[in-house]
Structure 1
Amino acid sequence: MEELSRKKFRDLSEAEERVVRAASDGTEADCRLGGGSDPEKVDTWPATRNVRADLIRWLCIDRAASEQVDPKGIQIQGARITEPLDLSFTNVPFPLVLSSCRLEQDLNLKSAKMPLLSLQGSWTGAIDAEGLKLEGDIFLRKGFNAEGEVSLIGATIGGDLSATGGTFKNLKSDKNPNPTGYALSADRIKVTGGVYLRNGFSAEGAVALLGATIGGNLDATGGTFKRPNGNALNPDGTKNETALNADRVEVAGGVFLRNGFHAEGEVRLVGAAIGGNLNAEEGTFRNPAGNSLNADGIKVSGDVFLNNGFSSVGEVRLLGAEIGGNLDAEDGTFKSSNEDALSADGIKVSGDVFLSKGFRSAGNVRLLGAKIDGQLEVDDAWLDLLNLDSAHITGRFLWQNIHKEPESYFPNKEWKTSLDLTNAKVGSLADQAASWPEKGRLRLDGFVYDRITAGPDAKVPTDARVPVDATARLRWLHSQPDELGFRPQPYEQLIAVLRQMGYEHQIAKVAVAKQTDLYEYERSDLGRWGKFWSWFLYRSVRYGYEPWRAFIWMAILVLAGSIVFSIARLPALRVMVPSDQGAYESDETTEKAPLPHYYPQFHAFVYSIDVILPFDLGQKSHWRLHERRPYDFVYWLFEFYSLLQLFVGWVLLLVAAAVPAGFIKED
Structure 2
Amino acid sequence: MLSYDELTASERELWDAFPEGRRVDLRTGAPESDRVAGGGRWGPERTVRADVIAALLLGANSAQPGSMASLTLVGARISGCLDLAGAHISHPFWLEGCWFEERVNLFGAATRTIEIRGSHVPGLEAGSTRIEGRLALFRSVIESGPVSPFHRDITALSLTNAHVTGGVILNGAELTAPGGCAVAAGGLVAEGGVFCRDGFVAHGEVRLLGAQLSGGLFMQGARLERPGPRGVTLTLDNAVTPTLNLSEGFTANGTVRLRGARVSDNVTFEGAALSGPPDGEGPALVAMHMQVVDFDLNLARPPSGTVNLRGAQVSYLHDSEHSWPDVVELDGFVYGSIKMHQAGGRREALGRRDSVTHRVAWIRRSPGYNPQPYEQLASWYRKAGHDDDARRVLLAKQRHRRRTLPSVARVWGHLLDVTVGYGYRPWLAGVWLLALTLLGTLSFGTHSPNPVKQGEGAPFRPFVYTLDLLIPIGGLGQRTAWYWPNDSLQWLAYLLIAFGWVLTTAVIAGVTRALQKN
TM-score surpassing 0.5?
yes
- Asked if 1 retains the 8 angstrom alpha-carbon contact of 2:50 and 2:81, the reply is yes
Distance apart, 1:280 and its partner CA: 0.9
In structure 2, the CA distance between the partners of 1:307 and 1:300, relative to structure 1 (3 Å rule), is same
Which one-letter code corresponds to 1:283 in the other structure?
A
Aligned residue pairs, count: 470
Does the Cα contact within 8 Å between 2:118 and 2:137 map onto a contact in 1?
A: yes
Q: Residue 169 of structure 2 is aligned with which of 272, 279, 286?
A: 279
The yes-or-no answer on 1:451 pairing with 2:353 is no
Partner of residue 47 from structure 2, selected from 129, 132, 145 = 145
Cα shift at 1:299: 0.9
**Counterpart in the other structure of 1:297:** 187
2:133 maps to 1:253: yes
What's the secondary structure of 2:375's corresponding residue? helix
Residue identity matched to 2:422: Y
* Residue of structure 1 in register with 2:458 after alignment: 600
Deviations 1:4-32 (A, max 9, x none): xxxxxxxxxxxxxxxxxxxxxxxxxxxxx
- Which range moves more in the overlay, 540-549 or 161-170? 161-170
Instruction: Give how far 1:421 is off.
Output: 1.6
SS in 2 for 1:183: coil
1:222–1:261: 8 Å Cα contact kept in structure 2?
Answer: yes
Aligned position for 1:579: 452
| More relative contact order, 1 or 2 (CA 8 Å, 6+ apart) | 2
**Deviation readout 1:300-355 (Å, 9 max, x if unpaired):** 11211111221112221111111112111111111115422212222111x11111
Q: CA deviation at 1:564?
A: 5.9
Q: 1:313 aligns with which of 181, 203, 206?
A: 203
Tell me the distance in 1 between the aligned counterparts of 2:364 and 2:397.
16
Map 1:123-138 → 2, pairs under 5 A: none
Q: In the alignment, is residue 211 of structure 1 matched against residue 111 of structure 2?
A: no
Tell me how far apart the structure 2 counterparts of residues 481 and 270 of structure 1 sit (CA, whole Å).
Answer: 41
Partner Cα distance (1:477, 1:615) in 2: 42
Structure 1 residue aligned with 2:237: 345
Of 468, 477, 497, which residue of structure 2 is paired with 1:610? Answer: 468
2: distance between equivalents of 1:102 and 1:169? Answer: 11
1:164 is paired with a residue of what secondary structure?
strand
* Match of residue 301 from structure 2: 403
In 2: Cα distance, 1:431 partner to 1:325 partner: 25
Question: SS at the partner of 2:370?
Answer: coil
- What TM-score comes out, normalization by structure 1 length? 0.63
Counterparts in 2 of 1:418 and 1:465: CA distance versus 1, 3 Å: farther
The answer as to whether partners of 1:441 and 1:480 remain within 8 angstroms in 2 is no
1:530-578, Cα deviation, whole Å (9 max, x unpaired)? 22232122111212222111121122233344466568x66xxxxx531
- State whether residues 163 and 201 of structure 1, in contact with CA within 8 Å, keep that contact through their aligned partners in structure 2: no
Identity of aligned residues (%): 24
Give the secondary structure class of the aligned counterpart of 1:322.
coil
Query: Quick check: 2:360–2:396 contact (8 Å CA) kept in 1?
Result: no
Give the secondary structure class of the aligned counterpart of 2:374. helix
Output the CA distance in 2 between the equivalents of 1:498 and 1:553.
29
Q: Distance in 2 between matches of 1:119 and 1:152?
A: 11
1:487 Cα deviation after fit: 2.0
Deviation at 1:379, TM superposition (A): 0.7
Deviations 1:76-106 (A, max 9, x none): 7xxxx4xxx6xxxxxxxxxxxx672679xxx
For residue 358 of structure 1, what is the aligned residue in structure 2?
249
> What amino acid is aligned across from residue 467 of structure 1 in structure 2?
A
Verify the 8 A CA contact 2:395 2:421 in the aligned structure 1: yes
Cα distance in 2 for residues equivalent to 1:560 and 1:427: 53
Q: Is residue 506 of structure 2 the alignment partner of residue 648 of structure 1? A: no
CA distance in 2, matches of 1:189, 1:303: 24
Report the alpha carbon displacement of residue 247 of structure 1 after superposing the two structures with TM.
0.7
Q: Deviations over 1:242-272 (max 9, x none)?
A: x1111111112111112x2221221111111
Question: Are the equivalent residues in 1 in contact too, given 2:238–2:260 (CA < 8 A)?
Answer: yes
Say which SS state the counterpart of residue 286 (structure 1) adopts.
strand
Normalised by the length of structure 2, the TM-score is 0.79
Give the drift of 1:436.
Answer: 3.0
Structure-to-structure mapping, 1:189-588, within 5 angstroms: 189-196=87-94, 198-214=95-111, 216-226=112-122, 243-258=123-138, 260-265=139-144, 266-338=156-228, 339-349=231-241, 351-385=242-276, 386-403=284-301, 416=304, 418-432=306-320, 434-438=321-325, 440-453=326-339, 460=344, 467-468=349-350, 469=352, 471-479=354-362, 484-519=367-402, 521=403, 524=404, 526-562=405-441, 565=444, 576-580=449-453, 583=454
Q: 1:425 to 1:375 in 2, by over 3 A?
A: same
Give 1:551's aligned amino acid: G
- For 1:483 and 1:621, how far apart are their aligned partners in 2? 54
1-structure distance, mates of 2:441, 2:212: 76
Q: Match for residue 48 of structure 1?
A: none
Q: How far apart in 2 are the matches of 1:307 and 1:470? A: 41
- Residue 482 of structure 2: aligned partner: 623
CA RMSD across the alignment: 3.6
CA separation of 1:200 and 1:300: change in aligned 2, threshold 3 A: same
Cα 1:151–1:164 shift into 2, 3 Å: closer
Q: How far has the Cα of 1:479 moved from its partner?
A: 4.6
CA distance in 1 between counterparts of 2:194 and 2:408 reads 58
Inter-partner Cα distance in structure 2 for 1:507 and 1:311 = 45
Larger radius of gyration: 1
Q: Structure 1: any 5+ residue segments left out of the alignment? A: 1-52, 58-75, 86-97, 104-116, 122-133, 171-181, 227-242, 405-414, 571-575, 584-595, 627-633
Could you say which residue in structure 2 is the equivalent of 1:92?
none
Q: Which runs of 5+ in 2 are unaligned?
A: 27-45, 63-67, 145-155, 277-283
CA deviation map 1:357-406 (0-9, x unaligned): 121222221111211111111111122144243243331111224236xx
1:205 deviates by 1.1
Taking structure 1 as reference, are residues 330 and 483 closer, same or farther at Cα in structure 2, changes over 3 Å only? closer
SS in 1 for 2:128: coil
Distance in 1 (alpha carbons) for counterparts of 2:188 and 2:237: 13
* Cα distance change of structure 1 residues 657 and 391 upon mapping to structure 2, 3 Å threshold: closer
> Which residue matches 2:15?
119
CA 1:363/1:161 → structure 2, altered by over 3 Å: closer, same or farther? farther
